[in-house]
Chain A
């Protein structure tokens, strides 16, 4: 069964360091999402791509976070410099397209701990 892949699964870093997360969506899925989930809360959308274009990054802290999906397939989310408050689960999801009612498929997530 096709799955969304993410790596690494766990990352521990010190504040002020740079970190990067990778996501490979289900083949053929045009829309890719990065979410941040703080412990005990629901996921919060950081950025949404349609193919290689960003369609929503309104909640992305652009002073330290960046995301790219250069070839419209896999994607990288970067944080530089990491802060203590960035400790969270970072989830990637994909769907066939952005239209309402389409199911999103989630990856296993990357749990980030900033010390």
Chain B
């Protein structure tokens, strides 16, 4: 079993819909990251959080340390949000990645 599990693996939404991506982890962590990767592109850090909730524009990230679970929400989704979203956790001095969620937002 992977230390970081994401769901769903793939997600298709219509423009304007609310999107939720989930991440569960099994190890003790000091921080959790949500990353965005566009096709053929490098990785951009969206959020780094260790508790509670963070918001940036239409993106919201939450984490529940007790339940070892985090969610990334995209409100009013747009075709430019189409990308792979990756959850990664800091455990010790290592960053462990989930397999990513491929999001496609159709106009």
Contact = CB atoms under 8 A, between A and B. Distances in A.
Interface residues of B, number: 26
Contact of B43 (A48, A91, A98, A111): A91
Given A91-B42, A100-B30, A104-B45, A45 B99 contact: no
Given A55-B93, A100-B30, A104-B95, A42 B42 contact: no
A103 B48 contact: yes
B42 A107 contact: yes
A42 B99 contact: yes
Interface residues of chain B: helix, strand, loop or mixed (majority): strand
A85 interface: no
Contact of B95 (A40, A45, A107, A109): A45
B44 interface: yes
A42 B48 contact: no
Interface string B66-107: 000000000000000000001010111111011110000000
Given A42-B97, A91-B42, A109-B41, A103 B33 contact: yes
Q: Which 9 pairs from chain A and chain B are nearest by CB?
A: A42-B97, A100-B30, A108-B42, A106-B43, A101-B31, A101-B30, A98-B93, A100-B90, A109-B42
28 contacts: A33-B95, A40-B100, A41-B99, A42-B86, A42-B88, A42-B97, A42-B99, A42-B100, A43-B86, A43-B97, A44-B97, A45-B94, A48-B93, A48-B94, A56-B94, A91-B43, A93-B43, A98-B93, A100-B29, A100-B30, A100-B90, A100-B92, A101-B48, A103-B45, A104-B45, A106-B42, A106-B45, A109-B41
